[in-house]
Chain A
Amino acid sequence: MIRRTIRFLDQRSGSAPLLKKALRYVFPDHWSFLLGEVALYAFVVLVATGVYLTFFFEPSTAKTVYHGSYAPLRGMEMSRAYASVVHLSFDVKAGLLIRQTHHWAADVFVAAIVLHLIRVFFTGAYRKPRELTYLIGVAMLFAVLLEGYLGYSLIDDLLSGMGLAIGYGVALSIPFVGANLALLIWGHPFPGDPAFWSRMYIGHVLILPLLIGGLLSAHLALVSSRHHTQFKPKRIDGERKVTGIPTFPGQLPRSLGLMIAVAGVLVLLGGLVQINPIWLWGPYHVYDGTNGAQPDWYLGWLIGALRLVPHFDVVVWNRTLVPNPFWGGILFPLVVMATLMAWPWLERRATGDRRAHNVLDRPRDAPVRTGVGAGFLTWVAMIFMAGSADRVLVFLGISYVSQLWFYRVAVWIAPIAVGVVAWRLCLGLKGMEEVQAEQEAAVRSARLE
C-alpha cells in the first residue's frame, strides 16, 4: 500500500529523489535552535484561529445598538466591528477561546521571533552564506509588528482606538508628506473614512499574512538550501560536514511534538488566562481615553520612545518640519531595523572576515560583537521600560517626571556600561579557557616525559 502510494506520486510528480533527500535532511541539535520553530508553529496557530475569527467579525464602523448577553453594554451604541467581537466573546460557543488563543499566539509569536533573532545574533549565524536568510527574518519581524498592531486595532474598543490615534499622529509626523500620507491611508482626517476599516481588515487578513507567509517560505527555503549551522562538533570538521538527526524518523516526532505542544500551551492560555477583555474597555470615541493604557508588549518599545522625547516640534518659517512623534514613532524603529539589517556587513567591514561560516560562535568567541549586541539590546530594553513608567507611578508611587528624567539619561549610559561589561566578560571567559588548555597541555607533556 505504502509502496503503491509512493509509486503513484513519483510517477506523477517525479518527486521521489527530492522526498528521499528531505527525509534524510540533517538537523543539528541544540535547544536554542527550537526558538525559530516555536515562532513558525505560533504562526500556524495564528492562521488557524484567525480564519475562524473571520467567520464572525464584521469590519464595519456602521453604528448599531448592542443587545447581546453582556449586561453592562446593553443598549449602548457602538460600531458593528466592536459589537461583533463582543458577540463573539459572549454568545458564540468557543468564540472567546479561539479569540484569546489568537491573541496569545500573537504575543508568543513575536516573543519567539525576538528570542530567535537574539540567538542568531549572538552566535553569528547571520554570517556568509546566510545573510539573505537573516535579512528576510528581520523584515518578517517588522511585518509581524504591523500585523499585530492592525489585529488589535480592528476591534474598535477604547484601547484599539487610542492605538490608532497614536498611529495617525505618527503618520502625520513624517516630514513634508505626513498629512498627505495619512489622508491616503485613512481617507479623511482621524478617525477616517468608513473604508479605512476595510483597508485595515484586508491588510490584516490577506495582504500582511501573504507577505509574512511568502517571507517565511523564502526564509525556510534558504535555511534548507544552505543547511543549518551548528555548534563546533567534536570529531569532524564542522565547516565541511554537518552532523545531526535526520528529518525522518528521528526529528519528526520531536518537531511535531513541539508544534503540538506550542498549540497546546496557547490553547491553555486562551482558555484559562484572560487577555484583552475588550468588553471592559468599552467602545471607542475620539473624545474618550483611559489611564494606564498599555498596548501589547511588542509595541512597548515604541510607546517608551514616544514618551521619552522632550517637548519640541522642529519649526522653520512657521512650517512644522519634524513633528515630535517622528523621533520615537518613525526614526527610532527605523534606526533599530537599519542597524539590524546592516550588521552583517558592518561586522564584515570591521573584522575583514569574508569567509563562509557553517560553525557558530559562542558569544564569548566574538567579544566585540557580544559587547555591541548586549549594549544595543540594553538600549532598546531601557526605552521599552520607560514605556511602563506610568504603571510604576501607580503601583510604586515613584514620580513620573523623575522616572522619565532618569530614563532620558540612563538610556544612553546603561548600554555603554552593559556593553563594556559583556565584552570584558567574554575576554575573561576566553582567557580562562586558554589558561586551562595550557595547563592541560603542560600536564600531558609532563606525563610524556
Chain B
Amino acid sequence: MRTRAKLKFALLAALGFLRGAGRRRKREPIVEAEGGDPRAELVVALLLLAAAACALMFVVVYALDWPKLTQWLGLCLGACLLLIAAALIYAGESFVPTEQLEEDYPPLEHPEEQLEIAQIGSESVRGFSRRRLLLGAAGAAGAALGAALVVPAASLGPFLDTESFYYSPWRRDRRLVDEDGKPYRAAEIEYETFYTAFPEGAYREELAAPLVVVRINPAELDLPPGRQNWAPEGILAYSKICTHAGCAIALYRKPRFPQAEPGPALVCPCHYSTFNPADGGTVIFGPAGRDLPQLPLLVDSAGELRAGGDFSGPVGPSFWGVRTRRPTA
C-alpha cells in the first residue's frame, strides 16, 4: 500500500516536472472559492442521474409508441428537464462559489469622444463647397429610391380598386339552398329557429354568400318602408356576416323570457352585436354600427325560396364607402 502511494507521488512529480509546472508563478486567486460540500455534490449527482433515466425513458416511450403517448412523452421530458434544473439550482445554492462582487457602474458618458465624433463629422465635410446642393441631391435620390422600392408593395392587392367590396352572388330568382345544396321550401321554415342558406351554384367562402333565414309571425313585423313584400309568409333573410367585425352570426335569441328580452334577436358570438330581425335588422345592442343587410325573398310556384333581388346594403364590416351604394352581382 505504502509503496503504491510512493510510486504514485513519484509519477505525479515526474509529470509535473515534464509539464514545467514548477516554473509557473503562483497567481492571485480570482474566484473566492469556499470548501466543497460532499453531501450536496452527491445529491446533485443523483438528481442528474435521475434526469438521465427520465430522458432514456422518453426514448423508450417514443420507440414503443405507448398508449397516451403525448402525456408520457411530456412527463418524461418535463421531469428530465426539471431534475436537471433542480440539480443546477441546488448546486448553485450549495457548493458553486457565489461571491458578492462590487463593480463600478460604467461612466454615464464620454465627453471627449462625443466632441471628437462631432469634430470628425464636421471636418470631413469642411472642404466641400456645394454642401447644400449635395445634401439636397442626396436627399432627392434617397427619397426617390425609397418610393421606387415601396411601389412594388402595391402589387400585394388591388389596393385602389375597392369594387370587390360591393360584389354579391345574389340576384333575382336565385334559389336558397342548404349546406348540402338542397333548395329550401317555404313550408319547412319553422318559427323560433334559424337556417343557414347559400346561393344555389355559387362559391360559398365569401362574405356576401351566406344568409341567415328566420320566420316571424307577419303581424309582428315592422319592416322599413319599401321592404313590405321582402318577407313572404313572414320568412326573412339577412346576411349571416356581422356588420361589426365580420364573424358569422351563430345565435338566435328566442324570447323565452319576454320581460327581460323583448323579442327574438340575431346575435354574433364574437362581440355580441344584437340585431332585430323583425324590423329590418337594426342593431339593438352590442358594437355593430350598421344594420344587418336584408335580402328580399320570393316564394316560387314550387314553394321554394328564391332571392327577390340583392341585399339592402353591402355585407360585412364597415369601411369608408360602405354606405354609398348597394351591392351588385
Chain A residues with a Cβ under 8 A of chain B? 24, 26, 93-94, 96-97, 100-101, 129, 162, 165-166, 168-170, 172-173, 175-180, 182-191, 193, 199, 225-227, 236, 239-246, 249-250, 252-254, 256-261, 263-265, 267-272, 285-293, 303, 306-313, 315, 318-321, 323-325, 328-329, 356, 358, 389-390, 399-401, 404
Interface flags, B53-89, vs A, CB<8A=1, else 0: 0000000001001000111111101111110111111
Instruction: Sort chain B's interface into a size bin.
Output: 35 or more
Beyond A306-B271, A323-B317, 5 additional pairs, beta carbon < 8 A: A184-B153, A259-B85, A286-B241, A289-B248, A293-B269
Q: How far apart sit A272 and B75, CA to CA, in the bound complex (Å)?
A: 7
Give min CB distance, B180 to chain A, whole Å.
Answer: 13
B288 — which chain A residues lie within 8 A by C-beta? 311, 324
A242→B102 contact, CB < 8 A:
yes
Segment from B93-101, B220-228, B304-312 that makes contact with A: B93-101
Give min CB distance, A42 to chain B, whole Å.
Answer: 13
B286→A307 contact, CB < 8 A:
yes
On whether A249 and B96 interact (CB within 8 A), knowing A190-B316, A191-B206, A286-B205, the answer reads: yes
On whether A253 and B289 interact (CB within 8 A), knowing A187-B156, A260-B81, the answer reads: no
Residue B17 CB within 8 A of the other chain: no
B206→A286 contact, CB < 8 A:
yes
Q: How far apart sit A303 and B287, CA to CA, in the bound complex (Å)?
A: 11
A318→B101 contact, CB < 8 A:
no
On whether A324 and B62 interact (CB within 8 A), knowing A179-B321, A287-B248, A313-B318, the answer reads: no
A244→B101 contact, CB < 8 A:
yes
On whether A188 and B319 interact (CB within 8 A), knowing A183-B157, A306-B245, the answer reads: no
Q: Which 7 A-B pairs have the closest CB atoms?
A: A271-B74, A169-B245, A313-B289, A264-B81, A268-B78, A257-B88, A287-B210
Checking B104, B207, B290 against A313 with a beta-carbon cut-off of 8 angstroms, the contacting residue is B290
Q: How far apart sit A242 and B283, CA to CA, in the bound complex (Å)?
A: 61
Give min CB distance, A394 to chain B, whole Å.
Answer: 11
> Please, which residue of chain B has its CB at the minimum distance from the CB of A248?
B31
On whether A268 and B82 interact (CB within 8 A), knowing A172-B317, A184-B153, A323-B319, the answer reads: yes
A321 — which chain B residues lie within 8 A by C-beta? 320
B247→A166 contact, CB < 8 A:
yes
Checking A26, A173, A252, A328 against B317 with a beta-carbon cut-off of 8 angstroms, the contacting residue is A173
On whether A176 and B320 interact (CB within 8 A), knowing A129-B108, A289-B249, the answer reads: yes
Residue B216 CB within 8 A of the other chain: no
Checking B70, B158, B318, B321 against A96 with a beta-carbon cut-off of 8 angstroms, the contacting residue is B70
Give min CB distance, A7 to chain B, whole Å.
Answer: 15
A285→B62 contact, CB < 8 A:
no
Checking B89, B210, B244, B268 against A325 with a beta-carbon cut-off of 8 angstroms, the contacting residue is B244
B128 — which chain A residues lie within 8 A by C-beta? none
B92 — which chain A residues lie within 8 A by C-beta? 250, 252-254, 257
> Please, which residue of chain B has its CB at the minimum distance from the CB of A224?
B106
Residue contacts A-B, CB under 8 angstroms, 5 given: A190-B316, A306-B287, A307-B271, A320-B318, A401-B285
Highest count of chain B CB atoms <10 Å: which of A226, A256, A321? A256
Highest count of chain A CB atoms <10 Å: which of B103, B271, B321? B271
Segment from B7-15, B159-167, B182-190, B295-303 that makes contact with A: B159-167
On whether A293 and B104 interact (CB within 8 A), knowing A245-B98, A268-B82, A287-B248, the answer reads: no
> Please, which residue of chain B has its CB at the minimum distance from the CB of A61?
B205
Q: How far apart sit A308 and B271, CA to CA, in the bound complex (Å)?
A: 9
> Please, which residue of chain B has its CB at the minimum distance from the CB of A241?
B102
On whether A309 and B319 interact (CB within 8 A), knowing A97-B74, A227-B106, A268-B82, the answer reads: no
A287→B77 contact, CB < 8 A:
no
On whether A271 and B165 interact (CB within 8 A), knowing A242-B102, A313-B290, the answer reads: no
B80 — which chain A residues lie within 8 A by C-beta? 264
Checking B97, B100, B108, B316 against A356 with a beta-carbon cut-off of 8 angstroms, the contacting residue is B108
A168→B74 contact, CB < 8 A:
no
> Please, which residue of chain B has its CB at the minimum distance from the CB of A27?
B101
Within 8 A of A (CB), among B200-240: 204-207, 209-210, 240
A324→B78 contact, CB < 8 A:
no
Give min CB distance, B290 to chain A, whole Å.
Answer: 6
A269 — which chain B residues lie within 8 A by C-beta? 74, 78
Within 8 A of A (CB), among B145-161: 153-154, 156-161
Residue B198 CB within 8 A of the other chain: yes
Residue B49 CB within 8 A of the other chain: no
Residue B46 CB within 8 A of the other chain: no
Q: How far apart sit A404 and B287, CA to CA, in the bound complex (Å)?
A: 11
Give min CB distance, B182 to chain A, whole Å.
Answer: 16
B328 — which chain A residues lie within 8 A by C-beta? none
Residue B246 CB within 8 A of the other chain: yes
Give min CB distance, A333 to chain B, whole Å.
Answer: 15
B204→A287 contact, CB < 8 A:
yes
